[in-house]
């Protein structure tokens, strides 16, 4: 059984109505919802059940956080797989030219062998390491191809990193950061 709803007409000044309308636009609520919320506060009544819009916003927030957790997990698995592949590739032994020549060919055919068997994979192995606290990074400015000043990383997660700026701590996606290798400064002794 739903409670009855009553229609109430209220006369407002133009300034008050303009403020009400502006607040409704910024919050995404209707003017009626805002008036009811204000009346509940004035009368000391408990807040009503969350609106459908608030429910959808909270469920959307939950979906995004769940998606972020899944992405972090997949990225972590991918990085671990890359590291394991690199370790397994580096542990392989490559046969020397002489070993292959003597095992597969008689010694007199060794001079005719034109293929260099000492060649190891030509693909360079990139150095992959996670961003760590204390690293220096450049932050990509929004709507610009340029980077801001060098900043110090103070917190990291799998997708985001927090840096110390002049105005305080700010969190950025790691894709917007560029790692800066520490340069050794010469000692003038």
Give phi and psi for 103, each to the nearest 5: -80, -45
**Tally of domains within the chain:** 2
> Is the alpha carbon torsion for 113, 116, 118, 120 positive or negative?
negative
Q: Tell me whether residue 91 is in a domain.
A: no
Instruction: Give the tokens for residue 54.
Output: 């608030």
Domain hosting 159: range is 136-180
- Which range is least confidently modeled, 49-53, 88-92, 185-189? 185-189
Instruction: Give the tokens for residue 67.
Output: 């998606």
Rounded to two decimals, the pTM is 0.32
What one-character DSSP code corresponds to residue 174? G
pLDDT band, very low/low/confident/very high, at 184 (cuts 50, 70, 90):
low
pLDDT digits (tens, 9 = 90+) for 93-122: 555 555 544 555 555 554 544 444 444 555
Helix (H) or strand (E) holding 59: helix 52-90
pLDDT digits (tens, 9 = 90+) for 55-78: 677 778 888 888 888 998 999 999
Are the CB atoms for 135 and 151 separated by under 8 Å?
Answer: no
**What CATH number is given to the structural domain containing 162?**
2.30.30
Q: Tell me whether residue 115 is in a domain.
A: no
């Amino acid at each position: 059984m739903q409670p009855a709803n009553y229609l109430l007409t209220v006369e407002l000044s133009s300034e008050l109505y303009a403020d009400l309308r502006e607040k409704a636009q910024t919050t995404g609520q209707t003017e009626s919802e805002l008036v009811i919320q204000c009346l509940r506060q004035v009368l000391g009544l408990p807040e009503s059940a969350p609106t459908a819009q608030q429910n959808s916003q909270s469920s959307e927030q939950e979906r995004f956080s769940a998606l972020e957790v899944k992405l972090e997990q997949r990225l972590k698995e991918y990085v671990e797989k890359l590291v394991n592949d690199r370790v397994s590739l580096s542990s392989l032994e490559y046969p020397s030219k002489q070993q292959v020549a003597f095992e597969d060919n008689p010694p007199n055919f060794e001079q005719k062998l034109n293929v260099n068997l000492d060649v190891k994979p030509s693909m360079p192995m990139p150095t992959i390491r996670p961003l760590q606290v204390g690293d220096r990074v450049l932050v990509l400015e929004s709507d610009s191809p340029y980077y801001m000043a060098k900043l110090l990383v103070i917190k990291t997660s799998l997708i985001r990193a927090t840096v110390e700026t002049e105005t305080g701590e700010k969190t950025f996606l790691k894709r917007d950061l560029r790692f800066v290798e520490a340069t050794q400064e010469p000692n003038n002794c």
